[in-house]
Amino acid sequence: MDKHEFNNEKTQFGFWVYLMTDLLMFAALFATFAVLRKNTFGGPSGRDLFNLQFALTETLILLTSSFTCGLGIIFAQKKKVKQTVIFFGITFLLGISFLGMEIYEFSHLITDGNSPQRSAFLSSFFTLVGTHGLHITSGLLWMIILFIQIFRKGLTDSNLRKLTLLSIFWHFLDIVWIFIFTIVYLMGAVL
Amino acid sequence: MMNFIFGKLTLDALPHAWFTIGGTATITLGGIATALLLTKYKKWKWLWEKWLTSTDPKKIGIMYIIVASLMLFRGALDALMIWTQQAMSTGSSHGYLSPAHFQQIFTAHGDIMVFFVTMGFLFGLINFIVPLQIGARDLAFPFLNTLGFWLYVAGVVLINMFFVFGGDFAAAGWLSIAPLSELQFSPGIGVDYWIWSLQISGIGSLIGGINFIATIIKMRAPGMSLFKMPLFTWTSLCSMVLVVSVFPILAVTIALLNLDRFFGMHFFTSTAGGNPMMYTNLIWTWGHPEVYILILPGFGIFSEVVSTFSQKKLFSYSSQVAAAIGVTLLSMVVWMHHFFTMGAGADVNAFFGIMTMFIAVPTGVLVFNWLATMFRGKIVYSTPILWFLGFVATFTFGGMAGVLMSVPPADFQVHNSLFLVAHFHTMIIGGALFGIFAGLTYWFPKFTGFKLDEKLGIYSFWFWLIGFFVSFIPLYILGFMGATRRLDHYSSSTGWQPLFITSLIGFCIIAIGAGIQVLQVIVSIKNRKQNLDTTGDPWNGRTLEWATKSPPSFYNFAIIPEVKDRDAFWDIKQGSRVKDQGLMEKYEDIEMPKNTAMGIYVAGFLFVFGFAMVWHIIWLAIITLIGTIVCFIIRAFDDESEYVLPASEVAKIEEGRIHG
Ligand code: HEM
Ligand SMILES: [Cu+2]
């Protein structure tokens, strides 16, 4: 195995371990949410607050961004810089729109007086969804850095490696979101 | 305006009680003295280039060990204060500490001993030894390693900051149990220091865990399959698997507590629907595995020590590995035994009680394996094996106490009593710490190139062992008599005082033992010429770390060894491979990581960030957070974090022409 391959393998392995720790963090947050979701303390519950169509739109945007991210990686592996940048560019825009929608939802809730301080249920909701949002933000930041690096040096081995990690991260966030959509929004609206 | 600039920080926060003045004076005078010495001997550059910015796991390991040793004395001082108070404070005497101050001391004591002493020593030993044992030149991610170390240091500094700014530490126990740790009941900044100190150092441990797992899985020398790894590497791997499994939970728990306190949310509050019992659950899902994180590497150290000093192969290697894995898995499903009394119901208690009892099985397997390894061995009674024998005595004792408490009805009687306190000190001192001492003595020649003074080592061992029993057997008895933990005063009609005084005497005996250890290090450095380890293999060792010279070159191995056997180095020594290796194979270019100060900068920013959060200095928090992110971005653009050491250079170092 040459050095470049070895570095790839090592870094990817480490990154997977990191993702597992992140997953456990989300697991703990999901558990808190599950414990606290009925504790509305006289305030509104999920059924009163959530707009399923809105959340579904967010979900579709994120799913599409995962798809374009996957296409981006395929082109990156073929060393096609232009297509790579285009597809990651689309991913970036979709990510930004997702984040915008989330911020819109949060500010809406807060201005209506349903802030995280209102009840334990709202605390856990904002924290779980907000943590995902923070991850999306850091993913976007990472994407910008990689864009700059690709513009400067092209699709070098090291840039390709980082891009691959980023795509894994992005898919991971997508999966976490699906759980959020199901457990927080769907179950919140139905149960 | 002042509010904006300084947040909650006011002049009142500066030291005015005797202990904060004392602490501040110690910190500043110590700092000034160190700075003067460094300036006098013109060592600043040397310190910065050779140590602080180093990415060499051996150097980082030693720095961990030094910081942990300092913290051991800091924590011991707390212990002395606790014990003295308890020996005095009965009847009409209320001792010399106020209840509020007493509470802060036992809180700080527990946190420092667990997070900054035991964890620090373990990360130090693992850093130094594991790469050597698996025949690697470095860790998988050298930068993350310095980063983790400096985050640990940031945590150490933060937990001591209250001496200078604030004057009050957390007073809610070492785990800051909610809702006591909530703003409503702990309005001061003590708990906030607790939060940020543990959050920052905990992230450091998490990063370390990821790094060591990747290193052990991906960087082993050719031929070293998983089942040829030395046991210390195995148990470190198990410990690190636990770290990555549960430190995320700790991070979340602390973060949620902070959200409650900082933003007024309601996770664990007793109002607005918060659930304090959830805190107890979350913190112990981390907390129980944590105690096994502390003990597992110790198990491995004893395996190495027993096999080396019995001059025998380990008895039943596979069952030892299986036992270590068993302990790892079981430790994740027993956390409820810390709160049988909370009211989860008989079925749940029964399940967790039985799971807890199961843990005694793999632990027993380990103990019997060590004894069987010694059986018919040619035992060399040097200090490390004494620590092992002491450990067998204490650990068995404490383990039985643990099994007793795993029976829920019995636990209802002794829960949160001094019996429990005695149990876990037996496990952590008699188990983890004795293991660390064995390891430090065993590997000292590898760290420095000379052995520790044997005679003083033996003295200190006996003081520690005897002092340990003198101070903790009374606690077992007191627990049965009904003494609860964390008492700052008790009625004289209980008749407990003599036992408390005995316990304090025990502490003093231990302190003498620790004093002798300091002396031992000083004497050994002075007489190092007599104890020089010129071969790199002073104990007739069996594993690869002894194949290097002492201390090893910064690249560990000029030629990566081929592993054919579990006792890889023993195998090499038996054959003639060691001789012709140098002739047959040529040196090759070696790629090594460059030094970097980025770990220091990131940790520095996060440290100030933590401080700003404690005091609600929002602008500073924002600036330092941005600073942290910028550091990472700069690092991301740095493509040249490695350099190549040419083969000719390696040859020169190996032939002793220039210093490695
Ligand atoms: C045979 C193995 C063990 C068993 C069966 C066991 C059992 C227990 C039980 C049932 C408790 C809770 C008692 C109560 O709160 O009423 C406990 C507490 C504790 N154990 Fe163990 N234990 C074992 C090994 C260890 C080891 C190896 C360590 C550390 C290295 C350890 C450290 C602790 C600590 C720190 C606490 C209490 C912390 C606190 O409440 O603040 N134990 N143990
Ligand atoms: Cu436990």
* Model confidence pLDDT, tens digit, residues B625-642: 999 999 999 888 877 778
Asked if the model's pLDDT at residue B52 lies above 60, the reply is: yes
Which of B252, B260, B639 is facing A28, going by the closest CB pair? B252
Please compute the mean of the pLDDT values over residues B550-569 and round it to a whole number: 85
Tell me: pLDDT of B579 over 50. Answer: no
Overall average pLDDT of the B202-219 stretch: 95
Query: What are the CA-CA distances from residue B473 to residues A74, B414, B421, B432, B500 (Å)?
Result: 67, 15, 11, 18, 10
Report the alpha-carbon distance of residue A191 to residue A38 in Å, rounded: 10
Question: Nearest Cα to B112, choosing from B79, B85, B145, B80?
Answer: B79
Predicted local distance difference test score (pLDDT) of residue B654: 79
pLDDT of residue A1: 59
Q: Can you tell me the mean pLDDT for B390-409?
A: 92
Å from A65 to nearest chain B CA? Answer: 24
Q: How far is residue B114's CA from residue B123's CA, in Å, rounded to a whole number? A: 12
Mean pLDDT of B140-163: 93
B357: pLDDT strictly greater than 60:
yes
Taking residues B361-368, what's their average pLDDT? 92
Nearest CA in chain B to A23: B248
Q: Shortest CA distance to B587 belongs to which of B555, B620, B633?
A: B555
- pLDDT above 90 for B536: no
**Chain B positions in Cβ-Cβ contact with residue A44 (cut-off 8 Å):** none
**Which pLDDT score is estimated for B416?**
92
**What residues of chain A lie within 8 A of the CB of B219, using their CB?**
10
Domain CATH number, residue A96? 1.20.120.80
Ligand nearest to the CA of B428: 1
Identify the domain containing residue A85 by its residue range: 3-190
Residue B577 reports pLDDT greater than 70? no
pLDDT value of position B584 = 47
Q: Among A123-137, B82-96, B524-538, name the most confident range.
A: A123-137
The atom number, within ligand 1, closest to the CA of B360 reads 1
Query: Measured in angstroms, how far is the CA atom of residue B391 from the centroid of ligand 1?
Result: 16
Mean pLDDT of B389-413: 92
Which residue, B155, B142, B145, is CA-closest to B250? B155
Residue A88 has pLDDT above 60, yes or no: yes
| 8 A C-beta contact, residue B339 and residue B280 | yes
In the predicted structure, residue B350 carries a pLDDT above the cut 60: yes
Q: Of all residues in chain A, what percent carry a pLDDT higher than 90?
A: 77
CA of B296 to the centre of ligand 1 (A): 14
Closest to A58 (Cα-Cα) out of A110, A107, A109, A95: A95
pLDDT tens column, B289-346: 999 999 999 999 999 999 999 988 888 899 999 999 999 999 999 999 999 999 888 8
Query: Taking 50 as the threshold, does the pLDDT of residue B582 lie above it?
Result: no
Residue to test with chain B: of A21, A41, A149, A156, most B Cβ within 10 A: A21
Domain count, chain A: 1
pLDDT band at B17 (very low <50, low <70, confident <90, very high): confident
Task: Tell me the pLDDT tens digit for each residue of B56-72.
Answer: 999 999 999 999 999 99
Block residue for tokens 């910065």: B48
Read off the pLDDT of residues B443-476 as tens digits, 9 standing for 90 and up.
Answer: 999 999 898 999 999 999 999 999 999 999 999 9
pLDDT band with cut points at 50, 70 and 90 for residue B201: very high
End-to-end CA distance of chain A: 54
pLDDT at res. B378: 87
- Does position B537 have pLDDT exceeding 70, yes or no? yes
- Residues at CB less than 6 angstroms from ligand 1: B 291, 294-295, 337-338, 356, 359-360, 363, 399, 402-403, 405-406, 411, 415-416, 420, 423-424, 427-428, 431-432
Highest mean pLDDT among A79-83, A128-132, B381-385: A128-132
Mutate to test the interface with A, among B147, B183, B265, B637 (most CBs of A within 10 A): B265
For ligand 1, mutation pick of B114, B332, B423, B429 (most atoms within 8 Å of CB): B423
Across B227-255, average pLDDT: 95
Cα–Cα distance for residue pair B106/B197, rounded to 1 Å: 16
Predicted confidence at residue B533, as pLDDT, reads: 82
Ligand 1 atom 27, closest CA = B427
d(CA B458, CA B441): 11
Q: How far apart are CA B280 and CA B575, in angstroms?
A: 56
Cβ contact B274–A28 (<8 Å):
no
Over 80: is that where the pLDDT of B506 sits? Answer: yes
pLDDT tops 80 at residue B576: no
Q: Which atom number of ligand 1 is nearest to the Cα of residue B399? A: 1
The residues, any chain, with a CB within 8 Å of residue B317's CB and separated by 6 or more, are B227, B231, B566
The protein residues having their C-beta less than 5 angstroms from ligand 2 (an ion) are B 288
What pLDDT shows up at residue B578?
Answer: 53
Query: Smallest Cα–Cα separation from B265: which of A31, A116, A44?
Result: A116
Report the residue among B301, B366, B400, B424 best suited for mutation to probe ligand 1: largest number of ligand atoms under 8 A from its CB: B424
CA distance to partner chain B, nearest, from residue A129 (Å): 14
Q: Which atom of ligand 1 is nearest to the CA of B406?
A: 10
Residue A111 in tokens: 């201005």
Residue B659 has what pLDDT?
A: 54
User: Residue B554: pLDDT above 50?
Assistant: yes
- Which-ligand-closest: CA of B334? 2
Tell me what percent of the residues of chain B surpass a pLDDT of 70: 98
- Mean pLDDT of all residues in A170-183: 95
Check whether B603 has a pLDDT greater than 70.
Answer: yes
